[in-house]
Amino acid sequence: MSSTVSVFVSTQQPNQSAWKSSTAAILGEQGATIYLGENEADNIRKIQKAGRQLDSMGVKSVSLQGDGWDIERQWAFSNGFTDTLTKNQINWAGATEQLQQLRETAAWIRQLINLPPNEIYPESLANQVADKLTGIGGDAVTVRSVVGDELVAEGRMGIHTVGRASKRAPVMLVVDYNPSKNTDAPVDAVLIGKGITFDSGGYSIKSSEGMLAMKCDMGGAATVAGALVHAIQQGLQKRVQLVLCCAENLIDGSAYKLGDIITYKDGQTVEIVNTDAEGRLVLADGLIYAGEVNAPLIIDAATLTGAAQVAVGTEYNALFSVDDALAQSALKIADEQRELLWRLPLNQWHKDNCPSAFADTANSRPQKGGGAGGASNAAGFLLRFAPNNGAGWLHFDIAGAYNNSANGMWPAGATALGFRTIAATLLK
């Protein structure tokens, strides 16, 4: 076998084969062949599985050969043929620049999420994202970081409350991409990302097993940052602001406790009944900010609830919105981008599903996992803070952001699933 393995796709099924029919890629003298059927969705899935198969066999370099390799098929193979550290090499069959750009952006997102928590913390996350976007957007990008007690001065009480127990200060990062460079230009969209760089659960502490992967709890921040990178590379001409809500949810004598009440900048009060339901607390500050700049489109992304993963598994992301037209548009875009997305229930009355006798709302229900409908109730909490009663707002609970171990579709670690859909929504 040469140092680079040739990979072909074919619609002609082999007459005889020593390989099982369920095998994604069959190896022969010329290289590997992926035999496709009539259903393109099934083909895309099989191609990604073939990429995983070759990676698991130790192949580190491939060349996609022959006819039949359109962009989406090549991208599916790329997603599968990616080891955790993104060292594998692909010689593309066409659209090389576009695909290489996509692969590099996805690798950057995955790298951020996969970094150990001793390397990625609120200020380092903010700095890496700011440097990346400044490098991509040049003088069209301005950056502002609100750090530590500055958050209190600006009324960003959710981020400060969650992050104040860590020696590493919480941060609210605002990146303003303004291609017109007109300071009076309206903000067309705000992207908001949950940037919990490590989540111990706080005093509602997680088990050791449940805590192991919690470096990935900033997956929402990495995903929306990568989406903006990709949109800019694709020629985005709208003014878009990126807001990352960054904190470590740790424990010391100053940590927030069960029964504490947070008063937000908009006057809403929240009773803490679960310190492990912290993501919604920091995102609330981002949603309030989006209302302050009057953005007509608001998209947030977060590894928010285990309930969303229970509902849709790890191969889909979950979508919530009370704006039906916008939600349907997002689902259509996700289908075009070959990213699996499923809409889960959200109504205005979900805002009241976490009642409190002592505040306007609690941050969860005092039950394991937030009780029945936990993902919708978490989205309902966010809806309280979304401007215009949720018109123009999309919430992505990115259940598919991270895998604890390799599977038939993805390597261990981050997937970057969702960034293409969000970028395409901005570009529409």
265 is catalytic: no
Edge to edge, the sheet with strand 317-320 lists 141-147, 171-177, 240-249, 189-199, 297-302, 393-397, 317-320, 341-343
How open is the CA angle 80-423-181, to the nearest 5 degrees? 140
Q: Which residues contact 58 (CB under 8 A, 6 or more apart)?
A: none
Q: CA-CA distance, 261 to 356, in Å (whole number)?
A: 10
Residues 297/386, Cβ–Cβ less than 8 Å? no
Nearest to 282 by CA among 243, 319, 321: 243
- DSSP class of residue 376? H
156 is catalytic: no
Task: Point out the catalytic residue in the list 60, 206, 238, 343.
Answer: 206
Task: Point out the catalytic residue in the list 49, 52, 280, 384.
Answer: 280
- 302 three-state secondary structure: strand
The pair of three-digit structure tokens given for residue 355, joined into one six-digit string: 């009642």
String of DSSP letters for 28-53: -SS-EEEE--S-HHHHHHHHHHHHHH
Q: CA-CA distance, 316 to 308, in Å (whole number)?
A: 9
The single-letter code of the amino acid at 52 is R
Which positions are annotated as active-site residues? 206, 280
